[in-house]
Structure 1
């Protein structure tokens, strides 16, 4: 009988441990810690970059700063790359990810999202003089992309005879493009713009759009209170124009009018 009670107590303790994890409240943790840990990719212009004074800037950086201000907590930047954004989130190194994190069905299986606060296109871009009208035109070419990004996944799905060269972050991809290491890129218009700014002679232009993705703030599964707070942040700052102001500053265009309906 005594052994049975011990086993029962052990089982309850284990269940209690699982329950405590299941009931984890990241928003309460942020408030108790008195700072918010936000994962940002600082090698992904124009979303995240580092200036001459080694300070982070970019559209996602400004969104993160605005969010921290409205949460009433100091911002602690957790620097990530495209491949490790979600692992850093899942292992608790960050409370959330604000790093041009596109909303995809695959990611929805492992994380939750806030409402979208921006959009990004996955495109094939090449120098103006290259004739690229279909995927078949890419056969035999070297396509540069950022490892683990939606651009990587989209071009891999349709690839037919091209060599895909993967780089660990967007900044390295841009360097490869302007130095002529690859012929074409599977990326976003924003990264293409950064490449052209680095080397105007490149004259990269969008040849075809693979897909249009909304992007949102990524959080761990089951964080209902945090999701509700982030959705409120997005709603309020779309309504007052602050998110559009940030987006237009770095992308040169307004957010789409229907962004609130995207998911």
Structure 2
């Protein structure tokens, strides 16, 4: 599949999702065919390249021995095992998930990748395998109940995520948003005191509390809830069909729910599990 982002609709979609800098880079390779690996190629190579974000606990992180762990990591490992191929882990960040698919640096993205209409214009998604909330979190002692309470305050956010998109769209004038390139850096910023308010997912608030119990971070405002899908390049019909069937089967047999509950401390919402029925 050739990445043709000269078309007006595609160019606008990529611009909104990736930002001007990444769009320029994509335009630089637009004349080079970015043929994504389909199912037959992956099986022949006996390797599937899966992009994972190891800076978003509990979806992806590293343990004390630097081994990748997390719900997305185990999901990707199970997928590769069931496909009968070796998994090649491709480290990514929130901002790089779409570009990695457009430039064929990864066959799949399993990185808390929310399914949104904007992203669906340039990449494909599997049926949902998990869900995530976008929330505004802050220490328990802070009196924050509505978006009005954020005016005049600094909100830390991770660039390229649906959390960032949600707070950017909903924040009232006078709210200062301080963005970092990945969740690991954002978490460090909160812990180090660069800001007490964090637009993120509930699980990452728990991660901050584990690192620094004095923070007592809690959800103050729920911005949105999004479905997570496995991302893949457009045109990979056989691969998408296989992944869709795999997700449905593993929702039905409970394996994906077990992985999610292991790391998030709660079962998958019914809106996700119903896809396996």
| Partner Cα distance (1:195, 1:22) in 2 | 39
In structure 2, the partner of 1:178 is: 191
In structure 2, the partner of 1:16 is: none
In structure 2, the partner of 1:15 is: none
Per-residue CA distance 1:209-252 (angstroms, 9 max, x = gap): 10000101000011111111001110110011000000000000
Counterpart contact for 1:39–1:85, Cα < 8 Å: yes
Pair 1:138-2:131 in alignment: no
Q: Does the C-alpha gap of structure 1 residues 169 and 24 become closer, same or farther in structure 2, counting only changes over 3 Å?
A: closer
Per-residue CA distance 1:121-159 (angstroms, 9 max, x = gap): 000111111111111110111100111100111101112
| Partner Cα distance (2:73, 2:271) in 1 | 24
Query: Aligned to 1:102, what secondary structure does the other structure show?
Result: coil
In structure 2, the partner of 1:80 is: 92
Residue of 61, 67, 78 corresponding to 1:55: 67
| Partner Cα distance (1:93, 1:140) in 2 | 41
| Partner Cα distance (2:70, 2:210) in 1 | 15
Give the drift of 1:258.
Answer: 2.5
Query: Aligned to 2:94, what secondary structure does the other structure show?
Result: coil
Count of aligned pairs between the two proteins: 242
In structure 2, the partner of 1:248 is: 261
| Partner Cα distance (2:36, 2:106) in 1 | 14
Residue of 189, 211, 224 corresponding to 1:198: 211
In structure 2, the partner of 1:11 is: none
| Partner Cα distance (2:151, 2:36) in 1 | 49
Give the drift of 1:162.
Answer: 1.3
| Partner Cα distance (1:165, 1:24) in 2 | 35
Name which one, 1 or 2, has greater alpha-carbon Rg: 1
Counterpart contact for 1:25–1:225, Cα < 8 Å: no
Query: Aligned to 2:131, what secondary structure does the other structure show?
Result: strand
In structure 1, the partner of 2:18 is: none
| Partner Cα distance (1:51, 1:67) in 2 | 21
Structure 1 gap segments, 5+ residues each: 1-20
Query: Aligned to 1:37, what secondary structure does the other structure show?
Result: strand
Per-residue CA distance 1:26-77 (angstroms, 9 max, x = gap): 1112112110000000111001111222211110000000000000000100
Per-residue CA distance 1:168-196 (angstroms, 9 max, x = gap): 11111111111111120100001111111
In structure 2, the partner of 1:149 is: 161
Structure 2 gap segments, 5+ residues each: 1-32
Query: TM (normalized to structure 2)?
Result: 0.85
Give the drift of 1:23.
Answer: 8.9
Tell me which stretches of 4 or more aligned residues in structure 1 moved more than 6 Å: 21-24
In structure 2, the partner of 1:218 is: 231
Q: Does the C-alpha gap of structure 1 residues 23 and 153 become closer, same or farther in structure 2, counting only changes over 3 Å?
A: closer
In structure 1, the partner of 2:11 is: none
